Structure 1
Amino acid sequence: MTATFGKLQGRSLELGDGLNIIEAPNETGKSTWCAFLLSILYGVNSRERDRAGFIADKNRFAPWSGAAMSGRMDCGTELGELTLTRATRRQTSPMGEFSAVYAGTNEPVPGLTGAACGETLLGISREVFERSAFIRQNNLPISQDAELERRIAALISSGEEGTSYTEAADALKKQLNRRRHNRTGQLPALETELAELDRQLSESNSLARQLVQARSEVEALSRRAEILQAELTDCDRWEAAQRRQALSGAASAAEQAEVRAAQVQERLQQDQIPENETIARLRGAIVNLETTRRAVDKARSERDEAMKALLRAEAAVNESPFAGQSPESARREAAGTENEPVKWNPVPGVLTFLIGVPLCFVVTYAVLFLTGSHSKLLALLTMLAGFSCVCALALFLKKRAFQAGWAELRLKRFGTADLDAIRQLAEDYAKLCEARDAAQASVNAKSAAADTLYSSLSSNEQG
């Protein structure tokens, strides 16, 4: 044997006839050679998976160098000297490529395949080989296997190899499961089918009763239909008579209409009624006339509204204290009210002068008496001072009289004595004049438009 298997890297092992005992230290590959012998005969089980405490052979004996798992065995069998070879083409199928040829030739052994190699050469299956002849170093599988049971039965009984208790028990268990397993199996299916048939039978009976009831209803409805058909026939006859009567009346009306049409045609010829085209043209002219009339009414309405607006604007202008003036003259009048001559009261000034002059002499005498002086200069100064005070007081009273006169004049003229309010009245008057002029222009324009439309209406009416 030559193997690239586990720690074996192209190493070879030759066994002789009879019992071969291999003695070597630990970890030299004795168990690996045993596993290789099993794999070269029966192949590597690629469906095994690693689990707790167990490593599958495809992973456990993968070559340490990373090379593909492969091997060769030369052996003597009943078929002759053979050379068995296994190699790995796909990683998922280790040692899945099998070859069996006669030693020294390249002629394949007929009927010898990789799956049946061990059973063909040894006469037993892999399960029996692992549980009897192939004893591993640390364990021997003792689990049940149908093939092994058949072999044991063949040894201890009649030699029949086709009977296995496990297979019989499994077959019986499968038969029981097929009949009933919890809610599945043939019996629950038959029970379900029976229940379904009972339900269908109940529905059939219900449908049968409904059919009987429906047939009775059909008979009643058939009789009702016959009665209605008879009534319908009578109605059809009555409607036919009504149609004949209406047709007769329509024929009489048609004859009368033909007579009236002939009379109207004759009258049209006598009265020389215009043609349809002329009538259509006249109808269009009438429509245009109505449109023009509505436009005239609208223009007059707009003119009337403009007149009303003009009257309102003129009334607002006439209500102003500056009525009748131009905006510029109104502004000038508002700015020059203090320069107008006014009537003022001279009595306070005159009384002040008449009383003040004698009072000046009295004051001068009193000053000279109190001072005990006979100075003419002091008397003259005192007289001048008193006379100045009297004149100043008289002028002040005159100014106040003038201001009171102007205030009375403004209040009477404008309703207020405030100059700013009077100037604002002048500005408002200017705006009212502008609004009046605009209203007058609008009245003129709309009056002209109304007159134009009215002239067009008159000509259209004459036409």
Structure 2
Amino acid sequence: MKIKSMTAVFGKLTGQRLALAPGFNLIEAPNEGGKSTWAAFLKAMFYGIDTRDRDKKGYLADKNRYQPWSGAPMEGEITLEWQGRDVTIRRSPKGNTPFGTFEAVYTGTQEPVPGLTGADCGELLLGVGREVFERSAFLGQSGSLAIQSTPELERRIAALVSSGEEDVSYTQAEGRLKEWLNRRKVNKSVGRIPQLEGELAQVRASREELEQLTGALNALAAEERGLRRKKEALEAELSAHKRLAQRDLDRRFTQAKGELDRAQADLDALRKEQARFGPIPHKEELKRAQGELAYLKALEPEIKQGEEALAQAEAELEEARSAARDDRFPGQTVEEAAESVKKAEGEYAAARKNAGTWALMAKLVPVIGVLAAGGMAVLALAQGDGFSFPAVLTGILFLVFTLALGVFNHSQARRSRAWGDQVLDRFSVKTPEELKGVLEDYRARVAAADQAAQQVRLVREGLSDRQARRENSRKDLFDFVHSFAPEVKDLFGCSAALSRALNLGEREAVAHTRLEGAQRLYDALKAQGGRVEEPGAPEPEAPRRTMEETAALLGTAQADLERTGRALSMALGRQKAVGDPAALAARQEELEGELERRSQEYQAISTALTALKEANAQLQERFSPELNRRAGEYLARLTGEKYTSLSLNRELEASAAGAGDVLPRRSLFLSKGTVDQVYLAVRLAVYDLCLREHHVPLILDDALAAFDQERMERALDLLVELSREEQILFFTCQSREGAYLARTPGVERVALDS
């Protein structure tokens, strides 16, 4: 079989295509370039993906690890040559199952390949199952090339030292015998024999328990019968108490019915009495009207006091106005009086000023005349004319004139003073200063009169307000009272009508309350089952205990009966659960027989397991010489003859020995590189023996990473030699393999895009 190409949507691969040659394919890529992903994709296309695998700490299941990074569905295609024809294999999702859909057709057609299915694809194409493939031709990136034994690989190798049949292995046979042995007995508590011993002990204990349960059931049944009789007697006594309670209830019910009838009759009588009047207003309105009536009565003395106060205020006003009248200021206001006083002060001041001026002139004019006459005489004498008559006459006339003028001025001064005195006399004062006192006195008397007038206005307004309120309240009160007592004429009638209405309302409210109370009592007693007492009914006999004592005893008896019933039911249930005595006896006999048979089987299987181990020990002495021989040859070539032989035990643990070594060295004592070379040799030997005939491609993913340069070159030479017959896919992240194989013919170098 040869792989020609692969196309994958798998992990980081998003539809990339990898074309392969028939021989040695050196596939180079750096870390994270997709090498391990291509190798895992190839294995998944052959064997599918285990959907039962789960993530663990430090480990991802393939179904999660290789989910396409792009988010696209996981799918892929491989074209290969098989049995002389090209075959195309496709896998894609089926619902949530990765690679759940499988298709295998001949390339270029839609003709299905017969017998090739998703379940057996790898085993049919490669000739081996997944476990053998992973331990031989598939050297994936795992950090170690070591091999672990599996039943399938063991069967393949066992065929080399037996008849060639691969149906059975020692591990499977040993496991089957141990499984049979464990089914019978693992230790003191696990296995069929301990189970039989335990069940037999339980059956015996159950038979003993049944005997004890029978006695307990008889005792519980007798106790239950006694408790039932006690309960029936207490129930009869409680029934008598209930009849007595019913009698008392009926009696109280009859009394309540009589009280209800009487309350209804009283209410009907009150309503009939009210029918003679108008509809009675609400109690609150009647009380408010009574308040208005009381207010009216309280207003009367207030109005009378107001009238008396008004008369007194008017008298005081008249007295104040009389006191405020002044002939000096007739009908004048205070402001006008002030103007009159101010004017009088001015007139007096002017008169006094004029009198002074006239008095001064009366004194100066005669003096001037005398001086003038004397001056004229002196002037005449100075001129030498003497005292001429004209001059004398002129002087005398001038003197007389000045004297007459002085007399006139003196008269005018006296008249001005008289006028000033007249101004003061009008106000009955002697001096101007007294005028201000007269004005202030007038001002005070006018203010008192004004205050008395203001008081009269206030008293009159208060009286008018009370009189208006009295009239309005009186009208409202009469309108209200006339709505239910139109015959009322005065306030006394209003008071009587209001009292009567309130009395009727209160009596009706009391009657209503009484009726409602009687109705509630009647309804409550009726709800309790009260009936009208029948006259002459016989009196029930009263029990010796109270109803509470009887009820308490009945509750205790009921609880005891229930407890006994539960115990009886549990005993019956336990008896039923334990089983029928005859069936238990039969089961005991059956178990004893089976226990004896299983004990004999246990001894036989133990003997067979011992014999199998002895046979296996003999087989291990000649375990697969061919596998050891071929692996030793490969190891000698890889190590340059340093190690010339190799031996494996059944668990495929390897030991290597050189030409001069006395004892082989276990792989635990070798370096990692040498261990990888040992197990590469083992894998190639297993490949030769198990897969070579099917021409399965060898897949190596960084398998030579731990090899030194010399041993790497030997390994590459060996692989190139094998590639002449088999297809090899060699993935590497290093350049040394490519450098060494650069001129080697038949090597196809492929560089992956990172």
Q: Same fold (TM over 0.5)?
A: no
Q: TM-score, normalised by structure 2?
A: 0.26
Q: TM-score, normalised by structure 1?
A: 0.41
Q: Taking CA–CA contacts closer than 8 Å with sequence separation of 6 or more, which of the two structures ends up with the larger relative contact order?
A: 2
